[in-house]
Amino acid sequence: MEASRIQVKRLPMTIYLDNAATSHPKPESVYQAVMHAMREIGASPGRGGHRRSLEAGRLLLQTREAIATLFSIPDSSRIIMTHSATEALNLALRGVLVPGDHVITSSMEHNSLMRPLVALRASGVEVTVVRADGTGMVDPADVRRALRPTTRMIALAHISNVCGAIQAIDSMGVIAREAGALFLVDAAQSAGSEPIDVIGTGIDLLAAPGHKGLYGPQGTGFLYVSPAVSLKPLLQGGTGTSSTAEEQPLALPDGFEAGTHNLPGIAGLKAGVEFVLEQGAAAIGDRERRLVASAAQRLAELSQVTLYGPSDPSLRGGVLSFTVAGTDPAALAFMLDHNHDIAVRAGLHCAPQAHRTLGSFPGGTLRMSPGWFSTGEEIAIFCNAVVECCRP
């Protein structure tokens, strides 16, 4: 088909408050980086000795280095590129745990962590789910009480994708070190908006997507693996290295990145991480929390609104969940979208146990999540739209 005949559907100008699912818009540099990788590089890293393949390899290395800088990772070769945080979490769990191992997690976890654990439990891995309190906060003392001699791993989300509760990962890291257990952190909602030092916090495995707070494209992510971890690969196949061996190489990172890299996505991820480094993760997180606090303050004035999560703004990330008495969250989200061009998310957010913990199961909540490019004016418009939708 000729380019002139391709029809591009233009969506309405939307107030986008669903950054906890996927950040939008991206910095302009991200779009440019994706197109540059597709148009000007084209080749795959490690799949040739020509200049384009070598340039692709340099781009891949530079992306690892940028991620290492952001998360204070001493050795960028211990960063495995994945296609999502889900893949990274599966690799962290399935690549480490064996029957007889014990894992401690919480009732606030996303299905990307909980479902692999349920599958592993069926094969002999023991799992303890520590229940959070009614605001979504996990007490480190409860995690300590759940320890066993066979505890191999503590696995937790840094920030709840449902209510924004920020867990005390520094304390959890201390507990894991004292117990001789590995510490896996799901940073899906914190990477890019909360400063994370993997060494200072004692994180052995850090999983994160590229398409949320790191402002990269969908189909990107990574897993950091500390030297204390002995990891098995999930996939076997071509790595561009050790080609004479029939067995999958175990060297990091090549042995864990079988198949062709998503180079355009990785190029965009590099640009997104560089944007976060320029702005500062703390500054991005502070901006998101201020916007969430503004919305929470306004919505709390409505008698029919119930807010979920910590009341202290410093304990909540860039996520606000709420319900409106007498109105289904999905219906409210539909009205906001179709009547006001406001994008939010409603439902269980792939975390049913979290909603059971918060008391919002089975209907779920409506979740709004601003990003760096959201404005105070947009938050005000959103709150006014909620008020209008709630009128009898």
Q: Where are the domains of the chain?
A: 28-279, 281-390
Mean pLDDT for the stretch of residues 216-227: 98
At residue 11 the predicted structure's pLDDT band, cuts being 50, 70 and 90, is low
pTM: 0.94
Q: Where are the beta strands (DSSP E) in the chain?
A: 15-16, 79-82, 102-106, 126-130, 151-157, 182-186, 205-209, 221-225, 305-308, 320-324, 342-343, 345-347, 365-368
Q: Quick one: pLDDT at residue 15? A: 95
Q: Which amino acid is at 100?
A: G
Which of 10-19, 191-200, 332-341, 363-372 is predicted with the least confidence, judged by mean pLDDT?
10-19
CA–CA gap between residue 290 and residue 286 (Å, rounded): 6
Q: Checking DSSP bridges between strand 342-343 and strand 221-225, what pairing results, if any?
A: unpaired
- Cα separations (Å) of 278 from 76, 178, 213, 283? 19, 36, 14, 10
Residues 281-337: pLDDT tens digits?
999 999 999 999 999 999 999 999 999 999 999 999 999 999 999 999 999 999 999
What average pLDDT does the structure give for the chain? 93
Summarised one tens digit per residue, pLDDT across range 170-196 is 999 999 999 999 999 999 999 999 999
> Would you place residue 40 in the very low, low, confident or very high pLDDT band (cuts 50, 70, 90)?
confident
Looking at residue 318, what is its pLDDT?
A: 97
Architecture of domain 281-390: Alpha-Beta Complex (3.90)
The pLDDT value given to residue 137: 98
Statement: residue 47 has pLDDT above 80: no
Secondary structure of residue 337 in the 3-state scheme? helix
The residues with which 221 forms a beta bridge, in sequence order, are 82, 209
Looking at residue 48, its amino acid is G
Least confident piece of the model among 124-138, 191-205, 236-250? 236-250
Q: Is the pLDDT of residue 375 over 80?
A: yes
Residues in the chain: 392
State residue 180's pLDDT score: 98
Question: Where is pLDDT greater, at 261 or 166?
Answer: 166
Q: Which residue reads 């304390």 in tokens?
A: 171
Cis bond before residue 195 (omega within 30° of 0) = no
Q: What CATH number belongs to 28-279?
A: 3.40.640.10
Identify the pLDDT of residue 119.
97
141's enclosing H/E stretch is helix 140-145
**C-beta atoms surrounding 25 within 10 Å:** 12
Compare 20 and 49 and report the one with higher pLDDT. Answer: 20
Q: What is the distance, to the nearest Å, from the Cα of residue 310 to the centroid of all Cα atoms in its chain?
A: 20
Position 4 pLDDT exceeds 60? no
- Above 90 in pLDDT, residue 392? no
pLDDT of residue 255 exceeding 90, the answer is no
The pLDDT of residue 168: 98
Which has the closest alpha carbon to 190: 375, 315, 365, 25? 315
The pLDDT of 67-92, averaged and rounded, is 98
**Residue predicted with more confidence, 234 or 138:** 138
**At 134, which amino acid appears?**
G
Between residues 346 and 5, the one the model is more confident about? 346
pLDDT for res 1: 42
**Residue 24 in this model has a pLDDT that exceeds 80:** yes
6 pLDDT exceeds 70? no
Higher pLDDT, 266 or 45: 266
pLDDT band at 231 (very low <50, low <70, confident <90, very high): very high
